[in-house]
Structure 1
């Protein structure tokens, strides 16, 4: 394993919880950490606990009015006027309802992502992973899409202000990385790349290929919106070809990547039909680019993922195995049918409503191909060409 790799984690991050029935369920962090530990892939020496972001750090991206509203709505019993104003800040919706101690726990998530960036840019670590981060939908003055503060945007701003870094942000969540894009839409020193299901059918409805940045930032926003029911080969073709050209042109000092794993066929909130293979392949590709273009400096964050039993623990574990250069990731190349640790399956199968998978990767040879595959591939290739128009 690469000893210069950090796993940023604190079980208190599971306190980022809207309510008992909300699909954003941070139990997936516990499941992932337990899988890695039972696989012998997460020694304690790699773990680091996040410190909370300061208000000054939050204010580099978020407005003072918004932060004050979040603080007020975080009290156990907010006053009537505060509750009545919650809608102005996007914090009274079914997706993003306010909850007690919201400010405190979200500040910890932001601090974890800042800490990961600091460790990498200071040279203390080469790579860092913060699965509690990746809250990419939050806007400067509004919460949205299960996101209260935008830890990715604040961490990128930290990299710029403290280290003068040019940052490439890569978003692999099935939902467009809108909050990060709009925060840096006119900034020539931040390039945002997002592959996602087209916004024609999916929240947040943005991320069209013609969203390219504005002013000095024109050409620094790259979007690859793919068709519903896209499968592994087409997803990876679009991802790799466009990203290869993006990183070569932009030449970043740091890569910050967001690893929502909701493009998987099992995810209940989207319509893409990818398998676990994309969650092995994308980190491998980003890893190579980091070493080729920015001295290996790579910070990876979590994100979406709503099948918390069958998808998220495997996908995020594969990310860590790649990032830390664990021998298991090479073993998977030799043996794609490699089994998950039996002790993990035994520990968690009583709690999962679905049968847990027994292997790291999916048996895609047994999956039924999607109808209209050729049409979907053709449409995605057209989008890919449009995305590369100015690269």
Structure 2
């Protein structure tokens, strides 16, 4: 018997594609920056070691064109990014575009690296919307803080916003965007704040404590888009039980209300207790649950059309590879438990600055008991109720 769980090839193969190229790792600010795309390679090699990722399921990302990127971003901004990446943009001008900051430093060939991330998400979109695959995963995507003319929060080009506008224009699709990153999905929300054919749902740590400080329940959309922006800011130290309840309730009710043609999920892995940049207390239990529910709803409302991208996640060794691998395993309807592959652990432990998690599950004593648990749970429930008030009142009025 093998010493770790492997995929059972006797089960039905799930129709999914995995967007990957080693070139995705070229999106790199500097060695000390918390945003480190080696986590994509860690996840890829974990799935390979599990024997759960076939070569024919791997699709290389294309390079997004300037025309693609301009679906969301200003031409002047795109040109500024190009110049910055060639060392030709003065610092005082770069700062006007959010470039050269502590969060989003300039790096060589940053336009090309960013365009590949965008192209990866567009590749995923085309595979799903053209019926080549039910599901597609681009872990290089999920850069949800980018704005039309400005970089923000580690994000240069907003691949999710570009992908949504691309789906609207090319396929005429109604898109449900679901963001479970610990940080509010601000860039995507504001890009479609007046669009009734794009519904955004962001479940995140309250902005009272965390960047970007937005994502209040009062942010509901504007004009024709009013009522199609949903935010559930949860309290610091929220645990699995409350997180999963909020997520499950919100995504079910929003999906039923909006009835999308396709679901795009942003799967930041930074709500985990280990994450160094956030203040939540989620475990791997939630990261198994989140894609499971999204998968079910994609088949219920969208004929299976589900595109997933990465996002935040700054414990790149212990958390992100496990959490992101579970998205792909859900797409393929595979279940794993127990120990992680020994070969994978042995290889990466040599590079990791801390002890890797040995199993798919977190220990029961992951963190000390939280004294305010009941208070936090009740507060999150009240926030959820307020966030969904419009849906529920509309539903009650229709009877």
Q: Scaled by the length of structure 2, what TM-score is found?
A: 0.94
In structure 2, distance between residues paired with 1:7 and 1:384: 33
The answer to whether the 8 A contact 1:174-1:197 is kept is yes
The answer to whether the 8 A contact 2:182-2:204 is kept is yes
The answer to whether the 8 A contact 1:275-1:364 is kept is no
Q: How does 1:272-283 map to 2 (within 5 A)?
A: 272-283=280-291
Aligned to 1:104: 112
In structure 1, distance between residues paired with 2:211 and 2:44: 29
In structure 1, distance between residues paired with 2:222 and 2:184: 18
The answer to whether the 8 A contact 1:3-1:46 is kept is no
Aligned to 1:25: 36
In structure 2, distance between residues paired with 1:89 and 1:209: 28
| 1:226 aligns to 2:234 (yes or no) | yes
The answer to whether the 8 A contact 2:216-2:232 is kept is yes
The answer to whether the 8 A contact 2:14-2:331 is kept is no
Report Cα offsets for 1:314-357 as digits up to 9, x if no partner: 0000111001222xx1x54xxxxx11111111111121121111
The answer to whether the 8 A contact 1:95-1:144 is kept is yes
Q: How does 1:42-61 map to 2 (within 5 A)?
A: 42-61=53-72
Shift of 1:190: 0.3
The answer to whether the 8 A contact 1:339-1:359 is kept is yes
Please state whether the residue corresponding to 1:85 is helix, strand or coil: helix
In structure 1, distance between residues paired with 2:102 and 2:212: 14
In structure 1, distance between residues paired with 2:178 and 2:332: 19
Aligned to 1:5: 16
Aligned to 1:316: 324
In structure 1, distance between residues paired with 2:168 and 2:364: 42
| 1:114 aligns to 2:127 (yes or no) | no
Aligned to 1:68: 79
| 1:215 aligns to 2:223 (yes or no) | yes
In structure 2, distance between residues paired with 1:293 and 1:306: 33
Shift of 1:150: 0.2
Please state whether the residue corresponding to 1:390 is helix, strand or coil: helix
In structure 2, distance between residues paired with 1:189 and 1:207: 20
Match of 1:162 among 170, 188, 191: 170
| 1:78 aligns to 2:88 (yes or no) | yes
Q: Where do 4+ consecutive residues of structure 1 move more than 4 Å?
A: none
| 1:134 aligns to 2:145 (yes or no) | no
| 1:266 aligns to 2:277 (yes or no) | no
In structure 2, distance between residues paired with 1:65 and 1:303: 26
In structure 2, distance between residues paired with 1:94 and 1:173: 21
Shift of 1:367: 4.0
| 1:364 aligns to 2:375 (yes or no) | no
Shift of 1:369: 2.0
Q: Scaled by the length of structure 1, what TM-score is found?
A: 0.96
| 1:16 aligns to 2:12 (yes or no) | no
Aligned to 2:344: 344
Counting matched residue pairs gives 380
Shift of 1:5: 0.5
In structure 1, distance between residues paired with 2:170 and 2:68: 11
Alpha-carbon distance change, 366 to 196 in structure 1, aligned in 2, over 3 angstroms: closer
Shift of 1:7: 0.1
In structure 2, distance between residues paired with 1:161 and 1:361: 42
In structure 1, distance between residues paired with 2:130 and 2:179: 24
In structure 1, distance between residues paired with 2:123 and 2:261: 17
Aligned to 1:335: none
Aligned to 1:187: 195
| 1:304 aligns to 2:343 (yes or no) | no
Aligned to 1:287: 295
Match of 1:93 among 92, 101, 114: 101
Structure 1: segments with no counterpart, 5+ residues: 333-337
Report Cα offsets for 1:248-290 as digits up to 9, x if no partner: 0000000000000000000000000000111000000000000
Aligned to 1:39: 50
Match of 2:131 among 123, 131, 136: 123
